[in-house]
Structure 1
Amino acid sequence: MKLTSAQFKKDFLSEIETLYSTALADTSNIEQYIALGHLVRRYNSQSWTRTAKRYRDHQQKQVYYFSIEFLPGRLLAMNLLSLNLLSTFKRGLSELGLDFETISQAEPDPALGNGGLGRLAACYMDAMASLRIAGNGNGIRYRYGLFKQIFMNGYQVELPDDWLRTGNVWETRRDNKSCVVRFGGNTWLKKQPDGHLQAHYEHTEDVLAVPYDIGVVGYHNDITNTLRLWSAELPPSVTKTYYSQEQRDRVSDITKVLYPDDSNTAGQQLRLRQENFFSSAGVQSIVRDFCENNDDLQQLGKKIAIHINDTHPTLVIPEMMRLLLDEHDCSWDVAWTLTMQVMSYTNHTILQEALETWPIEMFKTLLPRIYQIVTEIDRRYRRQELPIFGQKIVDQTAPLGNGQVRMAYLAVIGSHSVNGVAPLHTKLLKTDVLRDLYQVYPERFNNKTNGITMRRWVQLANEPLSGLIDTTIGKGWRRNPNRLQELIPYQQDDHFLHQLLEVKQQNKWALAAYVQKNMGIKLRTDAIYDVQIKRLHAYKRQLLHVFEILREYFKIKDHPEQAVVPRVHVFGAKAAPSYHYAKSIIKLMNAVADMVNQDPVIGDKLKVVFIPNYGVSLAELIIPAADVSEQISTASKEASGTSNMKLMANGALSLATHDGANIDIIHVAGAENEYPFGLTAAEVYHYYEHGNYHAADFYHADPELKRILDSLIDGTIPEVETVGREIFDSLIQYNDEFFVLADYASYTQQQRQISHDFQDQPTWQQRALVNIATAGYFSADSAVARYAEDIWQVPHDQLT
């Protein structure tokens, strides 16, 4: 879009006057941000309209990406980047005496996801728009985000994340697209004169699903796709004039918070209500729109693709069957064929606790018609596969079993494609997690390694690096990240390597300034910035990182006269509110940070920073400053990871286990440019098979490790008596479920090597350059192109 600075200023001042009836000088940052948002939407409104018309006129196949999480991050700068207006806005605001960065910080950062799953969904939405794929997101408009994290006496405390307090300038409410979603009541089938069974409902709890649409702007291509988020409301009624507060709360709770505490029955029911709510509303909307523009329902599979992002939206399968059977009079066989043609499923975990199951009684009571359909899917699956695979395999893979509705199994059975998100993960799905279903449906399984959008994670998050790349190899990489490989010849260019170092220093200064201002901790910018940012879970092993900090701390305390390479350890992580052990680790991390940071003997040789309320915006600040990317999950536990890719693209070297996409990063960039360590997945499974892992043996055999573990319980670390004992016992008495002690020696050896290597900055920058240059392999554009070709069967722009 062409826009002069003068025209922008005129439009902006007009928008301020229209919205607030006052002069610019009398407005706040949040008001200025809202005005900018309205202006961006006005500039882009015709694109959004044109895109929908173009898809409709060309009868383009629509992809609907269902995810219970979307973590979009702030949208002002992202939309301006995609519209090619970012520099114009910045210049115009500067001429008005305003600072773009200050204003953009007023934008809420909606925490509509817990981490990687939601951020991946947002990256893929961006990629679909940028590749001209007719892509639509479908999720939940949570009234409150995940939670706002603060620390009190080192413990995580969760506060409401009121991200909608000032409204959301990017959304459009679509009342005319609302749907009714049913819960509970009684359902029965009545035979019609033509032999068709008609579903009848009584005493149901009806909820109105109201969509709010957000435009997803493609990169410099006049495409704007739609992310649709559903909000739960009470339906209008001609017979009911009053709803009790209890009824109002019960409905509003459906879209109140992301991931309600499911450690009790009420929380589990609410989670299931959420999943059915957005799955049902989304499928109803899709079928309704399809029928408005198509006469032949048999074309559904050729015109529609529905993608299930992890198990949470699996109810789209029986909901599609319900609509085809009950409202469009399809036979079961026709409905099932169409449903399977439409559906595809990405599995994101090998952790059994994350493969959702629901008690049959709860499921049947809450979703009676859906349960009838799942029961019939189960019956027909058993009848078809029993003669081929036998009772044992069929019992182990059927949607219903052990008193549970098994969502992952239902997702596999009802989809034509099932993919993992890294080669190791996909292999483990085939050989372990979904092994029996792989025997039944080997042709459905495939791999699609995750990807990230370089537009946000390099172009926006790291403008100094982006500028350096532009002046070195041109701007072609901005549209095709694979062209970052053109940087490889500059490995021997001393001037370029020095500039790369200066970029890193600039980003460290920005992070250090934030930490000083918000946490009161002064950081050196010549130190190694050692970063671990991800959800707090025992398998991700923030604990191993803490042990390394203690090792460094004791070394300095024992020999304060010795020179050390200074370190800054940076953490960002939230623990689920009901995950007690993870919250205990947070308390330990904060206690260690306090002990280290306040010790005068340590000084500025070692600092530990646990930045609270980690989210997309903080990631954009932390990642460009990182020297070391900690990817230290137990081998075989992390499906893929995406922080590893973001850090790699910004020149951090990976300290990584042989897990998830770490393996691919090590392969693509070269092991000589990373720091691999630890057990392999095969070695982990060998321990499982033989039951011969004895954590206590590592504890007793290594005096350094023993000292670290003993410090948890002997008073060395202040104020960790309870959590220290809990963590110590989890490792020694309960045998270290995630092999922290087994990997300790290998991990700390690589940490010592990092300290040695970092002193040779030219060589370090050469290795950083290789990481940047090969990061295009993990772009969301490339990943989504593979989905489009192999799974969704839709056309897309080629990366040029």
Structure 2
Amino acid sequence: MNFQERWPQPSSLKQALLARLVLGLGVSQEQASLRDWFQATALTVRELLTARWHETNRQVRDHGLKQVSYLSMEFLLGRGLQNGLMALNILDECREALAECGVRLEDLIELEVTPALGNGGLGRLAACFLDSMASLGLPSIGYGIRYEFGMFRQEVIDGWQIERPDDWLADSNPWEFMRPERQYLVRFGGRVVHEGNRVHWLDGEAVYAIAYDTLVPGHGHYAVNTLRLWGARPVEPMDLATFNRGAFMEALSPQLRARTVVRVLYPDDSTIEGRELRLRQEHFFVSASIQDTLRRFRADYDDWALLPDKISIHLNDTHPALAPAELMRQLVDEHLLAWDDAWDLVTRVLSYTNHTLMPEALEIWPCDMMGRLLPRHLQIIEEINRRFGQQVEARPGDNQPDLFAKVSVIQEDGERRVNMGRLSVLSSHKVNGVSRLHSRLVRERLFPEFAELFPERFANVTNGITPRLWLNLANPKLATLINETIGDGWQRDLSRLADLRPSAEDDAFCGRLADIKALNKQRLAKLIAHRVGIEVNPAAMFDVQVKRIHEYKRQLLNLLHVIARWNAMRAAPEQDWPARVVIMAGKAASAYHMAKLIIKLAHDIGRRINNDPVTGDRLKLVFLPDYSVSLAEYIIPAADLSEQISLAGTEASGTGNMKLALNGALTIGTADGANVEIAEQVGPEDIFIFGMSVEEVAALDASGTYSSREIYRNSQQLQEVIDQLGAGQFSSDPACFWPIVDSLLDGNDHFKLLADFDSYWQAQRAVDRAWRDQPAWLRKAARNIAGAGRFSSDRSIRDYASRIWNAGYLPA
């Protein structure tokens, strides 16, 4: 028997899986572990997607389509196996093929590690957008960093967050292709020499950025796009002479220094070294991405005038804001374009999405630091700013003599600093916020002078989420119910969920919806018991707040309510208090002590109230550690109530609110971010809005009269709660939570929790009343699902393609 007879070309998925297991991994079927089967299945799926990938790239070239380079510091991907199988439409076939080999597909899906490439909503949005671009056939390539250890793996010990390395690459990653031929030199430090019209960046240090490609499959379209992540390697792997004389660690220092730039997401920036590492990271991935984008363009076109017709470079928030300086450096220094011609190309190619109104997130770098690490970029930014200043000062009839100081990219008040948010706006032909309210605040509060100078640049694109992950994968039974009720057209056009609205009055539909929710809650209850050892009642209301831990997210407001509710229940245990399980999850930045203290408080409150015989099963508080996409797939389908409680005017959009509404959770929230648009879609009777409006917050700030102590003195309920914290009632250390008390009272409560507390309490009582009428609650849940159709990332990407990028699609 020859080789071809023994190993024929696979004619079935089962044969393909076995061939990959035995030939690709070198493991016999009898000896294969579950990990081996996962690798074999993933590699088989990757091979099937690769054929589509090559066809996609060929079609882009043949049709001369514009391609979007999407630059993002985060891409919070989900697990790839089930997603790939669904994109190929072979999920059931694979399940059957594996079953014939004695393997359960579900075991392999649970075995997969979630890529540690993001932290929160920014990264998850980027992942949803990549999914939608592929599913719509919009040519794109995502660019980011291949973090070796992600942000961190969160453990909780005695209530305190402990950061551990998230070694997600410990086992080989079956989804990526290493591309050693795609490597680019990235420089740091050194000096700049001007010789006539030529500029040379010399000396300093350098690393190579190495491409790793992950395939991004479309659903309902053959397109497979690319996520290109950059790894790092030194120019010289080690100093052999130093090694041979016995200085082993010194000899390996180039390797260690180069790989430091890709070790972790968001290194602790409480030190100068941490700040410098962040700037290095941002330059590293921006430089490699710009070089690669220009290489792709020059491979097909030799006329620079075509660049804006063939390439869009999009900045996902302000982290990639070095892109205009790097693009100018490439065009002027490396490709010898005239400054004005290069700047014209830059401003026609770049676009920028702002994701936050928080000043600390706008990437403001000291000029001394930038000059030391990126001397040529600082020169370019200063020249951009000088020319901009001339344009501002030459404006006819300008009656604002200090206008340039308000828009200058170089801030001169005190230490000279580079404002990267301003650079992004100045360099982009379009600037957008991510909800209607946020986009208005970007224009009116964050960049009002730029909006006056360049009103045509500002736009809105409300965020969205992919229904492929957040219904089909995370909640397949609900997806099936929707298919059976209105057909499957909603999967290609989520706005068709509006056709579900009449079903909210159908008892049979609501009954099935209740059964699905109950199964999801039982599944989550088992996970809670397994992960943290707390038994919860699946029949209770699951009240969910899952997001990055930050003071502006106001998890602390939620915890104040839990304490107040517990106090009220103990004072009147005979009242009809609906059973409630408050579920929280999220990570605090490693240097953010107050956020860590909030996590500690959540645990200590839970430890006290979860074992209280007076309240019993009627009130539980659970904090689930190490929040991730895979954990969200358990929590979100099981949620009854969605907490979206930021102070109005601080949350840009939110996407967790969209995922939860899509899965039938009712929102309790402020009139902030996308909550406003969700309320419009689902109706005021099916959402619980509380608290001050943006205008009321602004008026209170302008008046200068806000006194949190005055509110505290006039509220017996708040006095009791805050005094309990101050007295150490929830901790063995009486002083543990004094910083929280100080921030609320002596710090004047920056995010105005106390101002909104009474309204929040009243809204929670309205939630209780609504929950008692379960048939009515289910109708509300059904209307929330029906109203979530606007919040598809497909709709968002269509908006970007038509209004921001002017980009076309691959043929269907």
Q: Which residue matches 1:84?
A: 89
Task: Classify the secondary structure of the residue corresponding to 1:97.
Answer: coil
CA drift at 1:80 = 1.2
Q: Which residue matches 2:595?
A: 582
Q: Which residue matches 1:693?
A: 706
Deviations along 1:448-500, one digit per CA (max 9) or x if unpaired, are 11110011011110011011111111111111111111111112211011111
CA drift at 1:12 = 1.4
CA drift at 1:401 = 1.3
Write the distance in 2 (CA, Å) between the matches of 1:517 and 1:115. Answer: 24
Residue from 695, 719, 738 that aligns with 2:732 = 719
Residue from 134, 141, 159 that aligns with 1:129 = 134
- Superposed, 1:589-600 pairs within 5 Å as 589-600=602-613
Q: Which moved more, 1:205-214 or 1:383-392?
A: 383-392
Write the distance in 2 (CA, Å) between the matches of 1:254 and 1:140. Answer: 9
Residue from 763, 770, 792 that aligns with 2:783 = 770
Deviations along 1:324-349, one digit per CA (max 9) or x if unpaired, are 11122111110000111100000011
- Which letter maps to 1:793? N
Q: Which residue matches 1:560?
A: 573
CA contact (8 A) 1:785 1:796 kept: no
CA contact (8 A) 1:587 1:723 kept: no
Q: Which residue matches 1:378?
A: 385
Write the distance in 1 (CA, Å) between the matches of 2:611 and 2:108. Answer: 35
CA contact (8 A) 1:591 1:720 kept: no
Q: Which moved more, 1:239-248 or 1:354-363?
A: 239-248
Task: Classify the secondary structure of the residue corresponding to 2:192.
Answer: strand
Deviations along 1:60-106, one digit per CA (max 9) or x if unpaired, are 10101000111011111111111111222223223333222221111
Write the distance in 1 (CA, Å) between the matches of 2:293 and 2:255. Answer: 27
Residue from 393, 397, 400 that aligns with 2:403 = 393
- Superposed, 1:200-219 pairs within 5 Å as 200-219=200-219
Q: Is 1:149 equivalent to 2:154 in the alignment?
A: yes
- Superposed, 1:325-364 pairs within 5 Å as 325-364=332-371
Write the distance in 1 (CA, Å) between the matches of 2:450 and 2:555. Answer: 34
Identical residues among aligned pairs (%): 43
Q: Which residue matches 1:407?
A: 420
CA drift at 1:231 = 0.8
Q: Which residue matches 2:104?
A: 99
Note closer, same or farther for the CA distance 1:146–1:745 as it changes in structure 2 (3 Å cut): same
Q: Is 1:182 equivalent to 2:187 in the alignment?
A: yes
Q: Which residue matches 1:627?
A: 640
Task: Classify the secondary structure of the residue corresponding to 1:370.
Answer: helix
Write the distance in 1 (CA, Å) between the matches of 2:94 and 2:193. Answer: 59
CA drift at 1:720 = 5.2
Q: Which moved more, 1:198-207 or 1:47-56?
A: 198-207
- The two structures have a TM-score, normalised by structure 1, of 0.97
Write the distance in 2 (CA, Å) between the matches of 1:238 and 1:554. Answer: 64
Residue from 42, 53, 58 that aligns with 2:58 = 53
Q: Which residue matches 1:275?
A: 282
Q: Which residue matches 1:294?
A: 301
Q: Which residue matches 1:221?
A: 221
Write the distance in 2 (CA, Å) between the matches of 1:726 and 1:391. Answer: 43
CA contact (8 A) 1:184 1:367 kept: yes
CA drift at 1:426 = 1.0
5+ residue gaps, structure 2, are 1-9, 243-249
Note closer, same or farther for the CA distance 1:699–1:199 as it changes in structure 2 (3 Å cut): same
- Superposed, 1:253-264 pairs within 5 Å as 253-264=260-271
Note closer, same or farther for the CA distance 1:94–1:721 as it changes in structure 2 (3 Å cut): farther
Query: What is the RMSD of the two structures over their aligned residues, measured on CA atoms?
Result: 1.7
CA drift at 1:797 = 7.5
Residue from 762, 779, 803 that aligns with 1:749 = 762
Q: Which residue matches 1:538?
A: 551
CA drift at 1:244 = 3.0
CA contact (8 A) 1:457 1:646 kept: yes
- Superposed, 1:155-166 pairs within 5 Å as 155-166=160-171
Task: Classify the secondary structure of the residue corresponding to 1:344.
Answer: strand
Write the distance in 1 (CA, Å) between the matches of 2:701 and 2:195. Answer: 52
- Which letter maps to 1:393? L
Write the distance in 2 (CA, Å) between the matches of 1:798 and 1:704. Answer: 62
CA contact (8 A) 1:712 1:720 kept: no
Residue from 603, 606, 616 that aligns with 1:603 = 616
Q: Which residue matches 2:4?
A: none
- Superposed, 1:469-508 pairs within 5 Å as 469-508=482-521
Residue from 323, 337, 345 that aligns with 2:330 = 323
CA contact (8 A) 2:586 2:627 kept: yes
Write the distance in 2 (CA, Å) between the matches of 1:674 and 1:190. Answer: 65
Write the distance in 2 (CA, Å) between the matches of 1:766 and 1:37. Answer: 41
Deviations along 1:631-657, one digit per CA (max 9) or x if unpaired, are 000100000000000001000000010
CA contact (8 A) 1:585 1:723 kept: no
Write the distance in 2 (CA, Å) between the matches of 1:400 and 1:297. Answer: 29
Task: Classify the secondary structure of the residue corresponding to 1:206.
Answer: strand
Task: Classify the secondary structure of the residue corresponding to 1:718.
Answer: coil
CA contact (8 A) 1:438 1:445 kept: yes
Write the distance in 1 (CA, Å) between the matches of 2:418 and 2:391. Answer: 19
- The two structures have a TM-score, normalised by structure 2, of 0.95
Write the distance in 1 (CA, Å) between the matches of 2:236 and 2:301. Answer: 30
CA drift at 1:601 = 2.5
Task: Classify the secondary structure of the residue corresponding to 1:207.
Answer: strand
Q: Which residue matches 1:194?
A: none
CA contact (8 A) 1:262 1:271 kept: yes
Q: Is 1:70 equivalent to 2:75 in the alignment?
A: yes
CA contact (8 A) 1:656 1:662 kept: yes
Deviations along 1:21-62, one digit per CA (max 9) or x if unpaired, are 333343332222111110101112211111111101111101
Write the distance in 2 (CA, Å) between the matches of 1:215 and 1:395. Answer: 45
Task: Classify the secondary structure of the residue corresponding to 2:144.
Answer: strand
Deviations along 1:291-326, one digit per CA (max 9) or x if unpaired, are 111021110011100000111101111111111111
CA contact (8 A) 1:131 1:798 kept: no
Write the distance in 1 (CA, Å) between the matches of 2:559 and 2:385. Answer: 47
Note closer, same or farther for the CA distance 1:351–1:98 as it changes in structure 2 (3 Å cut): same
Task: Classify the secondary structure of the residue corresponding to 2:198.
Answer: strand
Task: Classify the secondary structure of the residue corresponding to 1:174.
Answer: strand
CA contact (8 A) 1:301 1:342 kept: yes
Write the distance in 1 (CA, Å) between the matches of 2:568 and 2:126. Answer: 43
Write the distance in 1 (CA, Å) between the matches of 2:733 and 2:504. Answer: 47
- Superposed, 1:663-674 pairs within 5 Å as 663-674=676-687
Write the distance in 2 (CA, Å) between the matches of 1:142 and 1:568. Answer: 35
Q: Is 1:18 equivalent to 2:23 in the alignment?
A: yes
Write the distance in 1 (CA, Å) between the matches of 2:60 and 2:203. Answer: 40
Note closer, same or farther for the CA distance 1:720–1:744 as it changes in structure 2 (3 Å cut): farther
Q: Is 1:28 equivalent to 2:33 in the alignment?
A: yes
CA drift at 1:662 = 0.6
Note closer, same or farther for the CA distance 1:720–1:218 as it changes in structure 2 (3 Å cut): farther
Task: Classify the secondary structure of the residue corresponding to 1:487.
Answer: helix
Write the distance in 1 (CA, Å) between the matches of 2:719 and 2:62. Answer: 69
Write the distance in 2 (CA, Å) between the matches of 1:119 and 1:34. Answer: 25
- Which letter maps to 2:269? D
- Which letter maps to 1:125? L
Q: Which residue matches 2:231?
A: 231
Write the distance in 2 (CA, Å) between the matches of 1:239 and 1:548. Answer: 60
Q: Which residue matches 2:809?
A: 796
Write the distance in 1 (CA, Å) between the matches of 2:548 and 2:201. Answer: 42
- Which letter maps to 2:130? M
CA drift at 1:7 = 1.9
CA contact (8 A) 2:200 2:333 kept: no
Deviations along 1:329-378, one digit per CA (max 9) or x if unpaired, are 11111000011110000001101111110000110111111111111101
Q: Is 1:646 equivalent to 2:659 in the alignment?
A: yes
CA drift at 1:240 = 8.6
Q: Which residue matches 1:679?
A: 692
